[in-house]
Chains A and B, each alone.
Chain A
């Protein structure tokens, strides 16, 4: 098992992923320091989700290394991979709640199935985590289909933090929410992350959200990271691609590709 001596919590080195002839990730290098929040911005279809899925091990990169706590996880299998997965929590774009289970079992799922916590104890933890995202115990008994989009996202967030993960991934946390609910979710992300002291990697195209939750921002374009720096420097970075993206202009170096 390859190891590195650096201190990064998560590090990607030269990660490449292609589907057939289509190159999605073309050599990604990224580093996230412990306890920091990195937000990767980029247009739709630039491979942001693919990148996260490579780190999670859902997709296998064609080339490159992915280190988590100095361990190369890109080619781990079986028990060693399960051990790494226990460090992760993730909030999915559509919340991805299990519609066959009530809310509390969704939140407690990783505890009960993944870690063997007793159901009654897991239920207490679930209700406590729901309270952290501003949902009362009466929500615990409801089914995911009975919740609004914003509430589903909150439950998804509660599920992501339920097992006190060291690293949390956020996939488009504010997409599809009204601006107020988006801000509520942003605040919850900032608060809950501080609470558990987790390292986070988020992907979004919502700049308001990115500015709010990021310590550092990286921009992904055509399978490469074209800019990376502290959130405060993004407005003065002088990169025309970043500039076009954060101001949402149709004209600029980035052309909308009709066909991918």
Chain B
């Protein structure tokens, strides 16, 4: 068994996959500048990707904000720095946890759903059927999902930010003895445009990653039920990893 041949094969396969993904991504993005654009489908996908993710994103953001306040208090009180709780909750949620938690939750929910739906359409030949009906599957299936995710994610994260800070407020006032009005005033005094905007820029990138991974893996799924299952798993795993990697890169770039 030649070790080098094995390594070579793995690298070639990886390059092949990256190349295919790039071609797919470019095809999908350029679909926006070549009509037709299916606007009703974009709206429908915004409902599915954005609106119906609200409960899960809101709940996770609420509890994350609450836990953040409790933990920060535990640490800060050792140095008598309890007054910084609102600030740290604000920065933590808007810059980091809001986009990342929302991104991961939406990746689990939406990337999986997209991959399963497109994967089933692939194995039942519905994607080929689109082609025979003079409809470009990339424009009809991929582009609307991509656009919807890119538009929905910042909105979702903006809501997650508010809910997360509210979660921190509830924890601080109910468990930690903060006065509500002072907590709010400290938060309002501390908030900067950069805190929020950097989180929303991340959210846009995460939305793109989620939809692209869901579509790509669904579109190229093989075989039957097993293939669709594998595509769904790959979509969620790759979207989650890419979100965390992109988060690191964007944090480096934005600060």
Q: A58-B128, A96-B128 are in contact. List 20 more A-B contacts (CB 8 A).
A: A56-B128, A57-B131, A58-B131, A82-B134, A85-B131, A85-B132, A85-B134, A89-B132, A92-B129, A96-B124, A96-B126, A97-B126, A99-B126, A110-B133, A113-B38, A113-B135, A114-B135, A160-B132, A163-B134, A169-B132
- Chain B hits for A88, CB < 8 A: 132
A60 is an interface residue with CB less than 8 A from chain B: no
Instruction: Please report which residues of chain B, range 92-136, place their CB below 8 angstroms from some CB of chain A when the two chains form the complex.
Output: 121, 124-126, 128-129, 131-136
In the complex, what's the smallest C-beta–C-beta distance from B179 to chain A, in angstroms? 52
* 10 pairs, A vs B, C-beta closer than 8 Å: A82-B136, A90-B129, A96-B124, A98-B121, A98-B126, A98-B129, A99-B126, A110-B133, A110-B135, A169-B132
Nearest to A116 among chain B residues (CB) is B36
Interface size on B, residues (CB 8 A): 15
A94 within 8 A of B: yes
In the docked arrangement, what's the CA distance between A57 and B125, Å? 14
B129→A96 contact, CB < 8 A: yes
Nearest-neighbour CB distance to chain B for A175, whole angstroms, equals 13
How many residues of chain A get a CB closer than 8 Å to chain B's CBs? 26
Residue interface bits A108-119, CB-to-B below 8 A is 1, else 0: 011001110000
B140 located at the interface, meaning its Cβ lies under 8 Å from any Cβ of chain A in the complex: yes
Complex CA gap A110/B131 in Å reads 10
Contact, CB under 8 Å: B132 / A90? yes
Give the residues in chain B near A86, CB-CB below 8 Å: 134
Tally of A-B residue pairs with Cβ under 8 A?
A: 55
Determine the chain B residues whose CB is within 8 A of the CB of A110 once the complex forms. Answer: 132-135
Do A113 and B129 form a contact, CB below 8 Å, given A85-B134, A96-B124? no
List, in ascending order, chain B residues with CB within 8 A of A93's CB.
125
- Chain B residues near A99: list those with CB within 8 A: 126
Residues 62-88 (chain A) with a chain B CB within 8 angstroms: 82, 85-86, 88
CA distance A160 to B121 in the complex (A): 18
Asked if A159 is an interface residue, CB under 8 A from chain B, the answer is yes
Nearest Cβ distance between residue A227 and chain B, in whole angstroms?
A: 28
A121: chain B residues within 8 A (beta carbon): none
Q: Indicate which residue in B121, B126, B134, B140 contacts A115 across the interface (CB closer than 8 Å).
A: B134
A contact residues around B125 at 8 Å (CB): 92-94, 96
Indicate if A194 sits at the interface (CB-CB under 8 A): no
Per-residue CB proximity of B121-162 to A under 8 Å, as 1/0? 100111011011111100010000000000000000000000
Q: Please report which residues of chain A, range 122-167, place their CB below 8 angstroms from some CB of chain B when the two chains form the complex.
A: 159-160, 163
- Min CB distance B84 to A, Å, is 51
Q: Which of chain B's residues have a CB closer than 8 A to the CB of A159?
A: 133
Given contacts A92-B125, A93-B125, A96-B125, contact A114 B131 (CB under 8 A): no
Q: Report the bound CA distance from A159 to B133 in whole Å.
A: 9
Q: How far is the CB of A74 from chain B (nearest CB, A)?
A: 15
A109 to B140 Cα, complex, angstroms: 12
Q: How far is the CA of A133 from the CA of B135 in the complex (A)?
A: 24
Q: A13 near B: Cβ within 8 Å? A: no
* Whole-angstrom CA separation of A97 from B125 in the bound complex: 9
**Complex interface bits, A24-57 against B, C-beta within 8 A gives 1, otherwise 0:** 0000000000000000000000000000010011
Are A113 and B128 interface neighbours, CB within 8 A?
A: no
Interface readout for B227-252 with A: 1 if CB under 8 Å, 0 if not? 00000000000000000000000000
Contact assessment for B131 and A113 in the assembled complex, using a CB-CB cutoff below 8 Å: no
**Which residues from B are CB-within-8-Å of A82?**
134, 136
Cβ contact within 8 Å between B135 and A56: no
- Closest Cβ of chain A to B185, distance in Å, is 50
Across the interface, name the chain A residue whose C-beta is closest to B120.
Answer: A99
Closest B residue to A159 by CB, please name it.
Answer: B133
